[in-house]
Amino acid sequence: MQEVIDSHCHLDFQKFNRDREEVIERARNAGVVEMVNSGIDLKTNLSTLALAKEYDFIHPTIGLSPLVVSHYGNEIADEILLQLEQDAAESVGIGEAGLDYHYYKDSKEREHQKEYFRKVIEIADSYDKPLVIHGREAEEDSFEMVRDLDKVIFHCYGGSVETANMITDAGYYISIPTIVCFSDHHRSIAENVPLDRILIETDSPYLSPRKGRNEPAFVLDILPVIAEAKGIEEGTIAKATLKNTRSVFGL
């Protein structure tokens, strides 16, 4: 059995309320030795920290999603920034945070997201925490904004191979999601990301490679796909991603 880490999931989300323990047990039985659970707002930052206290193999990151910034406005966003400062020490990373150009096309709204992303970047920097980026259709702008940081993970990366090369050349990490199981574009990204810069994730409960809800156990579905794309053994992918995830998050 391969041992892997799901580098990005949302086990505290409502979709797992009825069977969370079973989902976690299935992941462990499948070979998922650790999971990084990411917050996106006030409520989920609290619940990810609580979940991590319950399970020593679940590690929390706390964040401020750009969707939250745009949808709920400055008052809520400012409150979350305070929360990030207060709880940074308890987390293994800051994020997810960043920019989302998929849902927000207006230049003023994009600037608004950038304004808050800058503040999150400062927090990650001041607490020396890796930054987990949500950069949907905004990969280049996100990259330009974080170039002074040491530790950066582009979560659920779906941008161009060229931008991916720039990201990994800068020493940052790219996390390949379970979408790779059915997306040629994500396969080409995985094929090109160097072994020492690649992570794997489910982003569960979203983006399932099977029918219905995604869950951390399904992160193993990624291994044969990347192994085939790169022409190397599944075990090599498992070992590299395990090592990289532990390294960047300090696990």
Per-residue pLDDT reduced to its tens digit, 57-68? 999 999 999 999
Instruction: Break the chain into its structural domains and give their ranges.
Output: 4-249
Q: Is the pLDDT of residue 223 over 90?
A: yes
pLDDT confidence tier of residue 193, bands split at 50, 70 and 90: very high
pLDDT of residue 1: 86
Q: Is the pLDDT of residue 81 over 90?
A: yes
pLDDT confidence tier of residue 244, bands split at 50, 70 and 90: very high
Is 134 annotated among the ligand-binding residues? yes
Per-residue pLDDT reduced to its tens digit, 112-147? 999 999 999 999 999 999 999 999 999 999 999 999
Is 96 annotated among the ligand-binding residues? yes
Q: What is the pTM of this model?
A: 0.97
Is 10 annotated among the ligand-binding residues? yes
Two tokens, residue 103: 């849902």
In the predicted model, what is the mean pLDDT of the chain?
A: 97
- Would you say 31 and 49 are in contact if contact means Cβ atoms under 8 Å apart? no
Topology of domain 4-249 in CATH is TIM Barrel (3.20.20)
Q: How many CB atoms lie within 10 A of CB 112?
A: 18
d(CA 99, CA 132): 12
Per-residue pLDDT averaged across 176-183, rounded?
97
Is 191 annotated among the ligand-binding residues? no
pLDDT of residue 187: 97
Q: Determine if residue 110 is left, alpha or beta; phi over 0 gives left, psi from -120 to 50 gives alpha, anything else beta.
A: alpha
**Phi and psi at residue 230, to the nearest 5°:** -95, -15
Is 112 annotated among the ligand-binding residues? no
Could you tell me the CA-to-CA distances from 185 to 41, 55, 101, 147, 232 in Å, in that order? Answer: 30, 35, 19, 25, 19
